[in-house]
């Protein structure tokens, strides 16, 4: 059943994609070829995370997304109304529901520690919908996520192809760029992120070309919703820089306008460093860095009625973990930190032994690829000092001698090749860009640079950086594809 369902879904989606070949100005063979590449890389992702990392079982976030999706899928069969409420964001934090029907979920509540949005739930809901016809077969889940990824790639291609001299470089570069294709075609947030970015830029380009209508408005609202509930920091960054299109639309947009644009961006960045801590740039980045350092160093994390509590992993033996209920009890007095919900400041405290059960947020051993970073500690000055280190960690590392498994060599080689490609394009760039091309390239580079900084400032885990940097690398690759000049074709005289 799983094999037949996978083949049927592969063929069905392939036929649907070919219906758009004329609009994309691609041949049917090219569209099908891209679809085969997407599925092949998606299946490679599934194979690696089952056999290399999971020892035969799916591993990591993908495992949790699918497993929690199956729990919600079972709820749909038993109580359709309740399932629909969860699907549309109603009753999501109902304690009775969490302690009963959703008790077997792993990460449904992961992220409910004071952040604006729990960005795991969208992917869980998608897997829940897939589970209604997948019967739990992973290959079917994989095919659907490959379809989501490929739809996003085709939308990005359609959005930017008219600004690229080498259109096929844009298409096959997006499909074969390892970081983009590997994470994008897996059962991950990145596949939905690429779809959201495709929808967003498809709408933005129509706006630039004065072709927008009510359909464009609906599309961009859908894109913003997907970004907000999947990768909020990417969505905020893309929307923040969208003012560039309004500011420079009626100008020639040269170096002067680029300088003004950069100064305005810097002004707003400084302004958001003096806002209340809930939306304060330095506070949010510092809090996220601390959270990721905690996860990288490993630890025991749980939630009580009013706060999020964190303890060193070496004190793991002082707790008893009840896996079935995903709860723990404190067996011995233990020192740790806590923060109140809605706050970002951690405070030291001692948790005393008790038979009270607490909901587990995470129990995780130290990461094998964590690297030392300077803690920002809510200091704007330290944030600036961390910038060179942040860019090196994202753009160049992991080095071959860095901690982590041997896959880091693949990432290091990719980084070097991408830097060389960047230099090659700058050397062979188009001299006279059209106005819209200048606007688009400036927007893509500024948004990518902001995302690189956010990732570098907050993330001390090289294995996580390899995945998180997909979005800024995608933006830079599209910008480079718009910049590169056409190939010179010499025709021999007859």
The predicted-structure confidence for 274-292, as pLDDT tens digits, reads as follows 555 566 778 888 888 888 8
Domain ranges of the chain: 2-202, 247-281+372-483, 299-364
Percent residues over pLDDT 70 in the chain: 88
More confident residue, 344 or 440: 440
At 281 the pLDDT is 79
pLDDT of residue 436: 77
Which of 132-141, 191-200, 242-251, 312-321 is the most confident on average?
191-200
Q: Which of 73-82, 137-146, 482-491 has the lowest mean pLDDT?
A: 482-491
CA dihedral 361, 364, 366, 368 (to 10 degrees): -120
What is the spatial order of strands in the sheet that 299-303 belongs to? 319-322, 327-330, 354-364, 299-303, 307-312, 334-340, 347-351
Per-residue confidence at 159, pLDDT binned at 50, 70, 90?
Answer: very high
- Position 493 scores a pLDDT of 39
Report yes or no: 331 and 318 within 8 Å, Cβ to Cβ: yes
pLDDT tier at 17 (50, 70, 90 boundaries)? very high
For residue 361, the SS3 value is strand
For the entire predicted model, the pTM comes to 0.86
Residue 489: per-residue pLDDT:
52
Q: Residue 114: pLDDT above 50?
A: no
What are the start-end ranges of the H helices in 331-434? 380-385, 387-395, 407-427
What is the Cα–Cα distance from 31 to 28, expressed in whole angstroms? 5
Residue 311 has pLDDT above 80, yes or no: yes
Residue 174 has pLDDT above 80, yes or no: yes
Residue 481: its pLDDT value, please? 94
pLDDT score for 229: 85
Residue-level pLDDT at 271:
61
Whether the pLDDT of residue 350 is over 90: the answer is: yes
Residue 182 has pLDDT above 50, yes or no: yes
Query: What does the pLDDT look like over 353-379, one tens digit per residue?
Result: 999 999 887 788 888 888 888 998 888
* Tens digits of residue pLDDT in 380-399: 888 889 999 999 999 998 88
339: left (phi over 0), alpha (psi -120 to 50) or beta: beta
Q: Is the pLDDT of residue 267 over 80?
A: no
| pLDDT score, position 410 | 87
The mean-pLDDT minimum among 191-205, 220-234, 276-290, 311-325 falls in 276-290
Task: Decide if 341 contacts 306 (C-beta within 8 A).
Answer: yes
With 90 as the cut, is the pLDDT of residue 408 above it?
no
Residue of 432 and 69 predicted with greater confidence: 69
Mean of the per-residue pLDDT values for the chain? 85
Residue 492's pLDDT band, with cuts at 50, 70 and 90, is very low
Q: Which residue from 375, 371, 394, 392 is spatially nearest to 282, judged by alpha carbons?
A: 375
């Amino acid at each position: 059943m799983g094999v037949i369902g996978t083949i049927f879904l592969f063929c069905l989606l392939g036929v649907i994609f070919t219906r758009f070949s004329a609009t994309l100005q691609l041949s049917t063979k090219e569209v099908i070829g891209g679809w085969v590449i997407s599925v092949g890389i998606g299946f490679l992702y599934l194979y690696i995370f089952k056999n290399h990392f999971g020892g035969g079982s799916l591993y990591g976030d993908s495992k949790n997304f699918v497993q929690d999706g199956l729990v919600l899928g079972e709820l749909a069969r038993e109580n359709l109304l309740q399932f629909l409420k969860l699907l549309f964001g109603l009753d999501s934090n109902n304690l009775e529901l969490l302690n009963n029907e959703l008790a077997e979920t792993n990460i449904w509540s992961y992220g409910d520690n004071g952040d604006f949005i729990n960005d795991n739930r969208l992917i869980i809901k998608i897997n829940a919908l897939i589970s209604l016809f997948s019967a739990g077969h992973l290959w079917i889940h994989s095919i659907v996520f490959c379809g989501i990824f490929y739809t996003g790639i085709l939308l990005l291609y359609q959005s930017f192809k008219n600004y690229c001299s080498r259109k096929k470089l844009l298409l096959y570069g997006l499909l074969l760029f390892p970081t983009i294709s590997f994470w994008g075609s897996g059962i991950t947030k990145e596949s939905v992120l690429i779809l959201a970015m495709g929808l967003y830029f498809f709408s933005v380009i129509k706006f630039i070309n004065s072709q927008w209508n009510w359909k464009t408005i609906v599309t961009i609202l859908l894109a913003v919703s997907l970004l907000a509930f999947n990768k909020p920091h990417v969505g905020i960054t893309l929307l923040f820089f969208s003012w560039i299109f309004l500011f420079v639309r009626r100008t020639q947009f040269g170096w002067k306008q680029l300088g003004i644009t950069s100064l305005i961006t810097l002004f707003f960045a400084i302004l958001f460093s003096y806002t209340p801590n809930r939306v304060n740039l330095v506070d949010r980045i510092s809090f996220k860095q601390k959270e990721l350092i905690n996860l990288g160093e490993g630890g025991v994390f749980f939630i009580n009625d009013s706060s999020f509590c964190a303890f060193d992993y070496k004190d793991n033996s002082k707790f008893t973990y009840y896996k079935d209920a995903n709860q723990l009890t404190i067996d011995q007095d233990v020192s740790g930190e806590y923060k109140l919900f809605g706050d970002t400041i951690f405070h030291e405290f001692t948790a005393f032994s008790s038979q009270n059960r607490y909901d587990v947020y995470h129990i995780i051993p130290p990461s094998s690829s964590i690297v030392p970073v300077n803690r920002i500690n809510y200091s704007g000055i330290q944030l600036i000092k961390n910038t060179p280190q942040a860019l090196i960690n994202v753009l160049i590392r992991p080095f071959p001698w860095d901690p982590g498994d041997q896959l880091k060599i693949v990432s290091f080689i990719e980084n070097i090749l991408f830097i060389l490609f960047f230099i090659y394009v700058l050397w062979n760039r188009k001299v006279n860009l059209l106005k819209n091309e200048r606007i688009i390239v400036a927007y893509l580079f500024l948004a990518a640079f902001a995302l690189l900084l956010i990732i570098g400032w907050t993330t001390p885990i090289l294995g996580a950086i390899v995945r998180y940097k997909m979005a800024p690398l995608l933006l830079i690759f599209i910008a480079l594809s718009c910049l590169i000049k056409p190939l010179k074709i010499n025709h021999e005289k007859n």
